[in-house]
A and B are shown apart, each in its own frame.
Chain A
């Protein structure tokens, strides 16, 4: 099985 490792991220939410 080939697995794609997603290392991306979002920005910190502004509350």
Chain B
């Protein structure tokens, strides 16, 4: 909650670092963190969702292979897809949140070309016209 506090417009790097440390300290850390972050990224409060995306990207950079393995599952990718889809939360989330989610998934297709599920998820979004460019 402290790492994604919507009452604070600036990123709080100290709390973000503490979040990453806890992810790394626990065997179940990556899967638990991703469930929490998915929930926050789906928040209708734009600042909370944007903070959660920053935390997610920081974890991708700092939490290593176990985190990458968990985030490359459809279980988590589906939660990001829901933010973009008008059938799910697409009408609640702001354009800025949606464009950052799209950019994050696209960047993973580049940085993790071996993760087939990320490629599948992104191709599906393009095929359905949800990602246009």
Q: Please, which residue of chain A has its CB at the minimum distance from the CB of B84?
A: A15
- Helix, strand, loop or mixed for chain A's interface? loop
A12 touches B85 (CB 8 A): no
Among B74, B82, B124, B125, point to the contact of A9 (Cβ < 8 A). Answer: B74
**Distance in Å: Cβ of B35 to nearest Cβ of chain A:** 12
Interface size counted on chain B using CB atoms at 8 A: 21
B82 touches A13 (CB 8 A): yes
On chain A, which size bracket covers the interface?
A: 10 to 19
Among B75, B125, B128, point to the contact of A10 (Cβ < 8 A). Answer: B75
B75 touches A13 (CB 8 A): no
Measuring CB to CB, which residues of chain A are less than 8 angstroms from any residue of chain B? 3, 5-6, 9-15
